[in-house]
Structure 1
Amino acid sequence: MNINPEFIIAAFKSALSYIHVTLLLTLAVVAIGLVFGIFVAALRTYRIPVVSHAADAFVVAFKAIPINLILVVASILFVTHFASIAKFLHLTVTVRDVSRVYVGIFALSLPAIAHMSEYIRGSLLSVEKGQYEAGYTVGLTFFQTFRRIVFPQMMLVFVPSLTGIVIALMKATSLVILIGVVDVLNGALKYANLYFSYFEAYLAAALVYWGLSAGIEFLGKALEKKIGKYRSEAA
């Protein structure tokens, strides 16, 4: 097999030109997954009447449904119902005025919330019930106890696994081509059909993903080190 170094460079540059799309999708999905994941995990952990069952159903559903299916369904619903929703809200924008990137963020956030909540729930369950009782005995409310005592301890468990979650979500963003959004992978493949140099394109995309993953790993290790320092000081 003949490998064309020039096309690897060209595909690499093309992939880099779309790196902002991958980063936007990743950061937005991680942020939404964390915020709503904490909420869903709290509902399921503390068994809030009625809504905890809805949270259970949400997690089971979006852990089971493939991400590519969620993306396609979200795109279809977006195209078919956007006009009626915009009319109801008295908006003058059309479906053409809204970037499909937002559809991708919405669709990817659903499974992200489900998976993130499971990790957070495991971290919450790692904190002994005696920690809550200790907070109550010194006059703290439930929310004060959670914020000052429980949350710092659950983060000691959750943060080490956060790096893997972020990398997994970053790789999942490559599926957005299904709804017409071009990211790093599909940017590298942009000219592969013209020159039939698929290997070089995939290699270039792999190099970009490797660089992004290395950066995430570095930040994750730094955060773990900071959390570890907190653990040592607490001990």
Structure 2
Amino acid sequence: VAWMITVAPAGFGRGAPVSASVAATLAFLCGIAAPLLAASHRRAARHLGISAFLALVTLTWLLASPSLQPSRLDPVRAAIGGIAWGLFALSWRDRWEVRRQPEPDPDVPLLQPRAHLPPLAAVIVAFGALVSLAILVLAWRVRDPDRALLAQAVAVACAVALITAASGVAVARGRRYTAGARRLTHRAVRQLLVLIVFAVLGAVVMMLR
């Protein structure tokens, strides 16, 4: 997504040199190949997905500098591109060296699945899913072209956050605590706060209609 929003328009835009298009294409191939190699060749995948990808992206921007003039930049696209680059950084946040997990003890009995869902777990998840779908549907009703893209981005972010928060709250309800730990945990409180914040953002999307 970060490549499509911030790199492709510069590398394949009007007036971009062939070298910029080649660098953008190579960056795209590196970004696609790196996750595929992460399981078998982790160090090579990180060099390909971080070092080579960022180097080729920077080279594309340098070669296609006329396309990056402030007068030709879209603020909404720039904001979405910034969010996409943040997600790119989070996707490669783990350490270079993966700690080897000890071999499981063959004599340990297997964990049995839960016979029943936590109380109100299905209701909480269903509520989050329905509200998420409602926000996505409302975003499609924005007719102003200048605000439609922003509404779609906010709606997708709200939907993902609501589903995540609802799932976290539902799972947290099924954990066992001691007698003195009946209050909400910090994780559950954070999930509830995220749920409330993005519900408010969903209301903002409704106001953008």
TM-score (norm 1): 0.27
TM-score (norm 2): 0.30
Of Structure 1 and Structure 2, the greater helix share is in 1
- The higher-RCO structure (CA 8 Å, 6+ apart) is 1
